[in-house]
Structure 1
Amino acid sequence: MSSYISRLLKSSFPSKRLVSQLTPRGEGKLGALLRQLGLQKMLGVFGSKEGTGQRGITTTAVVAQKMLTDDMELATGLFKRELKLRQAGNEDPWTMAKPLKRGAGRENDPTEIPSAFDGRLVGCLCLGDRGPKWMWLEKGAPKRCECGHYYVLKKADPI
């Protein structure tokens, strides 16, 4: 028995095998021995709860819901209005699925751009250019692009 104790004292972190050779469960004689040697901290390593109250474990039945929360319950503001329009059958409430086609573009027959506000940023795809020409279109008289095409703001209902 003394060889086991000397091995236990020499090892920095005793293995479970070494402890199992001393006692079957790591409690009882070993616990008393470790207390005599002043090594009570090691009792926690072996799963002993001496000196502390046993904690009870309680479980309750939990009903798992297999459904996710609906988007409509969480949505607010513009997103909620957009979802309502999509449910009503309008798949493109912002009219962004395809670009607006240019009309005649003359001064007396300009291309109408719908907007719920007093101004809108418009990009004209002029012939021969790689990118769009951007311009700020405001309510009132038609505005002319660099290519000569005219645009006017048309009142649209907000979403």
Structure 2
Amino acid sequence: MSMLRTTLNSIARVPESKHFIQSSRTFWFGRDKVRFPKDDDHATGEERLVRMAIARGNKDPFDLQEQVRGPGTKDNPNIVKTFSGTRMVGCKCEEDSSAIKYMWLHLNEPKRCECGFWFKAVPAEKFWEQK
């Protein structure tokens, strides 16, 4: 028992300059303040490019959110952005329907869905090349 107390007392007598105190994302080692990187600072590669695009105001860089259909005529088709030459889209033909009809769109080639709406794939802005 006395051996344990001696060990605990010696640990408790660590000099102040070696104390380790954590405060959110900033750490104090003695008198020096060290800042650790946040998620945005630590991200690399594609994740960093996506975070930078979102910070610039592009809330949906890959254009994955649901879009509201426009007129969808042959002369004025619904525009769908794509980074490659093709893109698969789903059309909810009727408002109350729970089924989605999928089709492949090819770049700059308008295509008609079974319900009669037209879609056209156009090149998307490459957010990773923007400064």
TM, length-normalised to structure 1: 0.54
Within a 5 Å distance, the mapping from 1:54-133 to structure 2 comes to: 61-68=18-25, 69-97=37-65, 99-127=66-94, 129-133=97-101
Q: What residue identity is the alignment partner of 2:101?
A: K
In 1, the alpha carbon distance for the partners of 2:57 and 2:100 equals 32
Residue 111 of structure 1: CA displacement?
Answer: 0.8
Partner deviation per Cα, 1:35-66 (whole Å, 9 max, x = no partner): xxxxxxxxxxxx8xxxxxxxxx8867243342
**Aligned position for 1:137:** 105
**Aligned position for 2:33:** none
In 1, the alpha carbon distance for the partners of 2:44 and 2:87 equals 25
Residue from 148, 151, 155 that aligns with 2:116: 148
Once the two structures are overlaid, the 10-residue window that deviates more, 108-117 or 88-97, is 88-97
Structure 2: gaps of 5 or more residues: 4-9, 26-36
In 1, the alpha carbon distance for the partners of 2:21 and 2:42 equals 20
Within a 5 Å distance, the mapping from 1:23-62 to structure 2 comes to: 61-62=18-19
Residue 131 of structure 1: CA displacement?
Answer: 1.9
TM, length-normalised to structure 2: 0.64
SS in 2 for 1:78: helix
In 2, the alpha carbon distance for the partners of 1:76 and 1:89 equals 19
Once the two structures are overlaid, the 10-residue window that deviates more, 78-87 or 147-156, is 78-87
Structure 1: gaps of 5 or more residues: 1-24, 26-46, 48-56
Residue 95 of structure 1: CA displacement?
Answer: 4.1
Aligned residues: 104
In 2, the alpha carbon distance for the partners of 1:86 and 1:65 equals 30
Partner deviation per Cα, 1:101-124 (whole Å, 9 max, x = no partner): 212211222111111221111010
